[in-house]
Structure 1
Amino acid sequence: MINLVLIDDHELVRTGFRMILQQQPDVHICGEAGTAEDGLKLIRAHEPEIALVDVHMPGMSGIELTERVARAKLPTQIIIITVVDDARFPKRLLEAGATGYLTKGCTAEELLCAVRQVAGGRRYLAPAVAQQLALATLDGEASPFDALSSRELEVAMMLVRGKALTTIGEQLNLSPKTVSTYKQRLMEKLQVDHIVSLAHLMTIHGLLDTHNNQIGGN
């Protein structure tokens, strides 16, 4: 039996996944969470084999959740599910410790294949993503975001969603001054001087879904 938790801030997405997964005799859903913080509690409490995790959530993102699970050496394998299908983003998530990567446009068959493959100890990448990763490697393409630390990337994602420094600090348990330092450092590394420019760069490199994110102003 594959024990699994669903972590996504969209209830309709969780409902869709649940309807597919609960019909499978070899899958058991241990719980659901609408935030990464609650999802981490679920993972710690149940230690399921698999966690299906959305990358863009209020507060802690799927990247930070993935890294925390990896750092804690928890047995749960993370499969990231997102609307973003650019090769450079899954590369960063796989480096953070994710074992699988799917887009929300995947079929029910692909979802089940990914869950079973990862539960069996193998990595799963959506075919289109795997192809993009291979081509990016062959072309030697690099993303400027590769230069950012995981925390800097986390702060960048929250900045372009319009969150204030104080709000980011509260959600990441950092002082506003520390968040400001992260902001200055990441913008220097990326050679941008405005949040709109940062958002544009993130969109180009597949890190931002402009349909689901409110871009901040400064």
Structure 2
Amino acid sequence: MIKVIIVDDHALFRAGLRLILAQQDQIEVVGEAASGEEALRLAKRLEPDICLMDVQMPGGMGGIEATRRLSRLLPNCRVIALTMLGDDPFPAQLREAGAMGYLTKGCPAEELVKALRLVASGHPYVDSSVAQARMLAQWGGETGSPFKELSARELQVTMMILDGQRTQDISATLSLSPKTVSTYRTRIYEKLAVQTDVDLTRLAMRHGLINDGSKDT
């Protein structure tokens, strides 16, 4: 039996995933969480085989940091990241954070189940549409999103900035000093060639990191 926890801030989406997985043999959803912090507590108690992790949860540590911590806390629990966005930079950054799978939320139910079974057996899996898009971009010589130049930690800080979190909030959530957070901010600005949070937000909107000026997914 493959034990699964679902982590997403939208209850309706979690219910949909639970319904899909309830129809599968040898797969059991043992818990749900609405935040990265809650996911860590739940995983520590339930010791699942798979965690379906939303990447872009507003507030708190978010999916990337939760993936990193979960991978260290429970190495036998494999993370499949779920995102609204199929573009860079998420696949590479989530792999760096420890995820073994990457799916867009619009993938077919059959692909979700296939990915879950493969990852549970120790094989990595990337959404077919994402893999195709990345291959086409490479063949076409496209440079892709500038955000792919960020490390997983830098991307995590970026997402928290875009979520409107202050330096003190980021510092407390990631267990970093405010000075270190400020250093990350400076490094992010330099890599992305922006000067303010407004510039950063506009760049994120342009590359689809946030949709239509909204930080919600």
TM-score computed with the length of structure 2 as normaliser: 0.88
Structure 2 residue 153 is the aligned partner of structure 1 residue 151? yes
Deviation for aligned residue 1:141: 2.8
Instruction: Report the equivalent of 1:6.
Output: 6
For these two proteins, the number of residue pairs brought into alignment is: 214
What is the CA distance between 1:131 and its match in structure 2? 0.8
Q: What does 1:66-145 correspond to in 2, within 5 Å?
A: 66-72=67-73, 74-138=75-139, 139=141, 141=143, 143-145=145-147
Q: What is the CA-CA distance between 1:27 and the residue it aligns to?
A: 0.8
Which amino acid counterpart does residue 128 of structure 1 have in structure 2? S
Quick check: 1:89–1:207 contact (8 Å CA) kept in 2?
no
The residue that corresponds to 1:27 in the other structure is: 27
Q: Is the 8 A contact 1:6 1:32 kept in 2?
A: yes
Shift of 1:83: 0.5
Can you give the 5+ residue segments of structure 2 that lack an aligned partner in the other structure?
A: none
The 2-side partners of 1:188 and 1:24 are apart by 47
Which residue pairs with 1:194 in the alignment?
196
Cα pair 2:8 2:35 within 8 Å, conserved: yes
**Conserved in 2, the CA contact under 8 Å of 1:50 and 1:76?**
yes
2:172 paired residue number = 170
1:209, 1:91 → 2: CA distance? 20
RMSD of the TM alignment (CA)? Answer: 2.1
Residue type of the partner of 1:190? L
Q: Deviations over 1:125-159 (max 9, x none)?
A: 21110112223444373643344332222111111
Residue type at the aligned position of 1:127: S
Letter in 1 for 2:169: T
CA distance in 2, matches of 1:212, 1:179: 23
Distance in 1 (alpha carbons) for counterparts of 2:126 and 2:179: 38
What stretches of structure 1 move > 6 A for 4+ residues in a row? none
Match of 1:51 in 2: 51
Secondary structure in structure 1 of the residue aligned to 2:164: coil
Shift of 1:164: 1.8
Asked whether the equivalents of residues 4 and 50 of structure 2 are also in contact (C-alpha less than 8 Å), the reply is yes
Q: Secondary structure at the match of 1:162?
A: coil
Gaps of 5+ in 1: none
Separation of aligned partners in 2, 1:45 and 1:88:
31
Aligned amino acid, residue 161 of structure 1: D
State the distance in 2 between where 1:207 and 1:140 align. 17
Most deviating of 192-201 and 8-17:
192-201
Point out the more displaced range, 203-212 or 80-89: 203-212
Q: Distance in 2 between matches of 1:207 and 1:92?
A: 13
